[in-house]
Amino acid sequence: LSQAASAAAATTDAAVEGTLSELVTQKIRKCTSHLQIHLPGAHAEKAPSFVAAMQHVTDVPLMSPLARHSALEAYCQEHMGISPKDLKPTALVRIRDLAQLFRSMQILGVVRLREADAGRVNSIFGFESIFVDEIGDFNAAFTKMVHEDRNRCWLVNGRQTLAQPTSPCYEVLRQLGVHPVKGTRGGASEGVPSGSRDFMFYSQFTFTLQR
């Protein structure tokens, strides 16, 4: 009897997990119907949460100067006053990691990326403004990326972890002219810890060449 009960429970758990995975996959497919993006089927690794769902978003077009070397070279020379070869390899990989992350979050409905109006300049990531609709998920995505460090560019100098994983992400963005908008920091209702100095808990970021 106990074996039968265990088998029934396992079947129920599998069914629930499969349903959650299918719902996430459907949501991503709905948001990405116009893009050439590979999404594994519901039988692949399950994704019952936003952070897990991000692993299903792959090969996202960067849609920025990072998409082509010639465009990156022109952007760096015109707006940053440097050549791409002057960017340290680690810095360039970090920039590409962030660009991929932004597009993934846009697809999942966590952020809205707005391009600059005519006559204005976008950031190197291809947008002028970020509007964060899910602050908690936004912060969690950066934390996950740094902890996993798939491209070995965030946990440097022998470090295995960081006390504040989002800190290097914020520093890269700040150096590239992307900064949080004053007055848009999230609160306790968005899951922001009391007393936190984490700068990736804002609902709006903007780009300017003057910073």
Output the CA–CA distances (angstroms, integers) from residue 21 to 27, 77, 136, in the order listed. Answer: 10, 45, 21
CA angle in degrees (0–180, nearest 5) for 210-133-136 = 95
pLDDT tens for each residue of 125-146: 999 999 999 999 999 999 999 9
0.85 surpassed by pTM: no
pLDDT tens for each residue of 96-131: 999 999 999 999 999 999 999 999 999 999 999 999
Per-residue pLDDT for 18 more than 50? no
Output the CA–CA distances (angstroms, integers) from residue 1 to 5, 6, 59, in the order listed. Answer: 6, 9, 48
CA angle in degrees (0–180, nearest 5) for 154-131-203 = 75
